[in-house]
């Protein structure tokens, strides 16, 4: 079979010859008891750079020794891109949320052999799920592999925004010692009201990690948490997003992107937020209206916006979020730390082993199966597609 793998570019200076840490901490299981990926074997050292083109998710030896073809590229956008040419006869396509290959309805129509789309990570909104269902293509992802990585990133972003770290770091880099300038927008997070839109693995973990900061915790989710969890964290449940954002100083967005959440944070909802609030978005960029976010930062309705996600990805060089005030944007790195890469590479290998051997793929990895939302997909997504506009990714030019 032919496996097409779309990964982000190698480091500008070439692949690392060594790494800061010689080994990763050993994890036995995820917090809810779910087992970590369980491939029969791996052909890489955990902690290596695996998510880029030369890293190949550690798959080449495994695939080629079993008679399969592996094509790896970062060229995924625009007319005549390599990914489009190779997709035509591919049986499996693998892509990461950080450098997504937008598997649109049109691309799926041209991929007559395609049987499965694998997300090396979590979040499969870059696949037109409706088109996948209509064409009998299964969609799977490595659920939970980088959820805790993202939750750590959320905590980092909340503290960085509220303390105005980015501005203070800039002053030092510019040779200054302007303390008044450095602290005129800096606050303590203690006593603030912190809320998450969706309290799944990432959202709930972020709340747990914030609890020691002596803050008030809130959440909105269409699936209410058990009473025991609410009591443990002293959580306030909200029946609507509007109720949550009206009282929170910091809102972290952790829901999947699908037609119901696309542009959820528009000008109307942002204006219902507490004036001067902060937004941290590590979910998907398209959940927020880009112009509305920039306008709210300009007016002071928002004090800060830290997003790890954009739409499309990579973001065009002139994307307004690159230059708006009081932002803490990163290029979707929260879930692709070297620690996370080791787990999602192992998860992809586990999925492929099952696929080639005709064995069931874990239900928790399943998004679409046999023409319907299934497993995690049935719990987290709605039918339809959120890939429209993804062609704008071709506007990004490497610097």
Q: Which residues are the active-site residues? A: 146, 284, 313, 332
Rounded Cα distance between 186 and 25, Å, is: 34
Rounded to an integer, what distance in angstroms lies between the CA atom of residue 240 and that of residue 134? 32
């Amino acid at each position: 079979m032919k496996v097409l793998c779309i990964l982000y570019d190698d480091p500008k200076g070439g692949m690392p010859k060594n790494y800061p840490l010689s080994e990763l901490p050993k994890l036995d299981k995820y917090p809810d008891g779910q087992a970590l990926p369980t491939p029969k074997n791996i052909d890489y050292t955990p902690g290596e750079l695996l998510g880029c083109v030369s890293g190949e998710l550690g798959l080449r030896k495994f695939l080629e020794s079993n008679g399969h073809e592996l094509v790896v590229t970062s060229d995924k956008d625009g007319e005549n891109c390599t990914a489009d040419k190779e997709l035509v006869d591919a049986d499996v396509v693998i892509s990461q949320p950080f450098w997504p290959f937008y598997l649109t309805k049109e691309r799926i129509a041209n991929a007559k052999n395609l049987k499965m789309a694998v997300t090396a990570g979590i979040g499969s909104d870059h696949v037109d799920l409706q088109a996948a269902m209509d064409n009998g293509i299964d969609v799977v992802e490595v659920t939970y592999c980088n959820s805790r990585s993202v939750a750590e990133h959320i905590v980092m972003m909340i503290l960085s925004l509220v303390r105005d770290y980015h501005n203070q770091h800039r002053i030092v880099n510019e040779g200054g010692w302007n303390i008044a300038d450095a602290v005129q927008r800096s606050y303590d997070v203690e006593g603030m009201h912190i809320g998450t839109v969706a309290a799944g693995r990432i959202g709930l973990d972020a709340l747990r990690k914030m609890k020691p900061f002596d803050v008030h915790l809130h959440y909105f989710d269409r699936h209410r948490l058990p009473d025991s969890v609410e009591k443990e964290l002293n959580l306030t449940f909200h029946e609507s997003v509007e109720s949550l954002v009206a009282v929170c100083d910091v809102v972290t967005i952790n829901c999947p992107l699908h037609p119901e959440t696309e542009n959820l944070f528009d000008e109307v909802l942002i204006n219902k937020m507490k004036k001067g609030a902060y937004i941290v978005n590590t979910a998907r960029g398209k959940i927020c209206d880009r112009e509305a976010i920039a306008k709210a930062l300009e007016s002071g309705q928002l004090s800060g916006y830290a997003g790890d996600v954009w739409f499309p990805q990579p973001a065009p060089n002139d994307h307004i979020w690159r230059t708006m005030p009081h932002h803490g944007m990163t290029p979707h790195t929260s879930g692709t730390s070297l620690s996370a890469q080791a787990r999602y590479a192992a998860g992809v290998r586990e999925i492929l082993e099952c696929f080639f051997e005709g064995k069931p793929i874990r239900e928790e990895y399943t998004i679409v199966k046999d023409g319907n939302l299934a497993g995690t997909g049935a719990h987290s997504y709605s039918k339809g597609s959120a890939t429209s506009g993804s062609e704008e990714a071709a506007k990004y030019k490497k610097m």
